[in-house]
A and B are shown apart, each in its own frame.
Chain A
Amino acid sequence: MTARNATDWEKAPAMPAGHFVSGRVYTDDAVFADEKARIFGKIWHLACHESEVPNAYDFRAVDYAGIPLIVVRGRDGMVRTFINVCSHRGAKIVNEPSGNAKRFTCFYHLWSYDDRGACIDIPRAEGYAQSGLRKEDAGLRAVRTEIHLGLVFITLDDNAAPLADFLDGALTAFDDVLGRGDLEVFHYHSAVLDANWKAWQETNLDIYHEFMHVLLRRTQLTAGRMDERAVTLYRNAHALSSGLKAKYENYAGMQARPDALTLPGIAPDDFFYVNLFPNASLLARGTVIRIDTVTPIDARRCLVEWRGLAPRGEPGAARLLRMRHHNQYWGPFGRNVPEDAFAVEACEKGFAGGGAAFQIIAREENMSAQDDGMLRAWYAEWARRMDRLPGDPVRREGEGS
């Protein structure tokens, strides 16, 4: 057998369910609509880091799957989130990505809101006397917000279980690196990629793809042992990948990470990361932390946001070196992240027009080495929430073929 004919190409791979994913998960409009409602309408999403709103009245405007949100630190120090649209005509209120404001005034008819989302002013409010509209009933839509290890999470679901239940301890590995010390975001960049949002998350779930990066072939595949790697799965398909090492000096122009810059609870050559279902990844690599989140714009485009964290107020020389460590891998001119983005867009080209039928996630190595277990767990959780089969997503679970 060499190349396959059309029938064979479209046939589900001869392997256990859960070991392959249909291309329709990326392209089917009904699947995407369900994802917005059943996944993005329900999960806890990592919206930003607490340091992005350090002071009273600081705000941070973010987009979440097409919904504008505003994260605000109130006069009482509490961080709250609101949908960033006016109760009157639905216009987006705050257009700056960040700032400090005691009130948010819609440009359109000058309705104003305070730091707790209350409507505090409606010009010529007497005009609503007959219809009974009162500003007390015209507050912004509050979005549940919780903070863990300085990470600000939001959910659109008023009835969602608490954040701690959702996380199920998956961020315990970050207790030291995020929890011991005062950190701030020093790096932020974002990109709209021409790809379904899941394809980005898959790059973080698929450790086998380290072969794609010459940087990782030189620094990672030469360090540590494959059998020392381990994946720990948590409820809700969160996953910790640990036991990886890096020999930075194996790549020309890079140096071993110095002890003095190493983050708490981690060795200079350590690398571990946690993927939070469905769309966030936190990576700790000796001296730097990367957080990335992906949210859909539509079925074919996604917004990826990358943040780098460092100790607040560290000396300038230390910060410059830490920035360099971050940028060598993860900046927009880095040796790692641009290649991931390239791969994600290449997969979209494969699946968008139906050229590719399935992707295979069938590596089994005892949840070590380059096992695809994180991908399988992720798609099992996707299936549970979507009531669809990843291998045949147009059909609901339990429906006949």
Chain B
Amino acid sequence: MTVVPNELRELVHRSCFALDREDFSEFLSYCAPSFEYRISAYSPEIRKPMIWFDQDYGGLESMFDMVSQHLKRLGTLFRHPSMGIIDRVSDTEMKIVTSVLIVDTDPNGRSKLFAAARYTDTIDLSGTAPRLTARFVNLETRDLGVGSHIPL
């Protein structure tokens, strides 16, 4: 299969839009069964890299099933991806680094920046459609207010 960057760009965007809509089934449909997801940040306070969230495909699935029962932040999070670097790792694997701004809009329609981050996505090209095998989110923003119950 030949994958052109447009298909990769579309995969990243579609995965963001699915999370924006909190359509977790759709998001998982873009992920391979071996999918790994991680959110990390560097703390200059303790001078250490930190992992704030990590789940595999099954862990995300379980977590998504419970989201509706949690008390969640109000409003929506919209992810604004800006594709950066695309590296072909092998014939069947590519890595994409994407800068992302995540905008929080409250129920009254007031928007503010929630987080600035960078995705490093690993994409499997061996199947009929490209699939995410990993998304590592590195946060620049470390004060996330009340936080979030859903991945970024």
Chain B binds chain A: yes
A contact residues vs B (CB 8 Å cutoff): 52, 60, 96-98, 185-193, 212-215, 251-253, 320, 323-324, 327, 331-335, 337-339, 341-343, 345
A-B contacts counted at CB < 8 A amount to: 103
Name 29 A/B residue pairs within 8 A (Cβ), A-sorted: A52-B46, A96-B44, A97-B44, A98-B47, A185-B48, A186-B50, A187-B50, A187-B52, A190-B45, A190-B142, A190-B143, A191-B143, A191-B147, A192-B145, A213-B71, A214-B66, A214-B70, A320-B51, A323-B54, A327-B52, A331-B147, A332-B147, A333-B52, A338-B72, A338-B147, A338-B148, A339-B70, A342-B71, A342-B72
Alpha-carbon distance between A337 and B149 when the two chains are bound, in angstroms: 10
Task: Verify A252–B66 contact, CB threshold 8 A.
Answer: yes
B89 within 8 A of A: no
Alpha-carbon distance between A332 and B146 when the two chains are bound, in angstroms: 7
Task: Verify A212–B71 contact, CB threshold 8 A.
Answer: yes
Which A residues touch B14, using CB under 8 A? Answer: none
Given contact pairs A191-B143, A253-B63, A333-B148, a sample of 11 additional A-B residue pairs in the complex whose CB atoms are under 8 Å apart: A52-B46, A97-B45, A98-B44, A187-B52, A191-B144, A214-B66, A214-B69, A251-B66, A252-B66, A253-B62, A323-B50
Task: Verify A253–B145 contact, CB threshold 8 A.
Answer: no
Alpha-carbon distance between A332 and B44 when the two chains are bound, in angstroms: 17
The closest CB in chain B to the CB of A337 belongs to: B147
Among the listed A191, A253, A333, which residue makes an inter-chain contact with B39, where contact means beta carbons less than 8 Å apart? A333
Which B residues touch A333, using CB under 8 A? Answer: 39, 52-53, 147-149, 151
B33 within 8 A of A: no
Alpha-carbon distance between A187 and B41 when the two chains are bound, in angstroms: 10
Task: Verify A334–B147 contact, CB threshold 8 A.
Answer: yes
The closest CB in chain A to the CB of B54 belongs to: A324
| Closest CB in chain B relative to A193 CB, distance in Å | 7
| Closest CB in chain B relative to A331 CB, distance in Å | 5
Among the listed A191, A252, A320, which residue makes an inter-chain contact with B146, where contact means beta carbons less than 8 Å apart? A191
Alpha-carbon distance between A323 and B50 when the two chains are bound, in angstroms: 9
Task: Verify A52–B45 contact, CB threshold 8 A.
Answer: yes
Among the listed A212, A320, A338, which residue makes an inter-chain contact with B149, where contact means beta carbons less than 8 Å apart? A338
B88 within 8 A of A: no
Task: Verify A193–B145 contact, CB threshold 8 A.
Answer: yes
| Closest CB in chain B relative to A131 CB, distance in Å | 39
B65 within 8 A of A: yes
Which A residues touch B66, using CB under 8 A? Answer: 214, 251-253, 335
Which A residues touch B84, using CB under 8 A? Answer: none
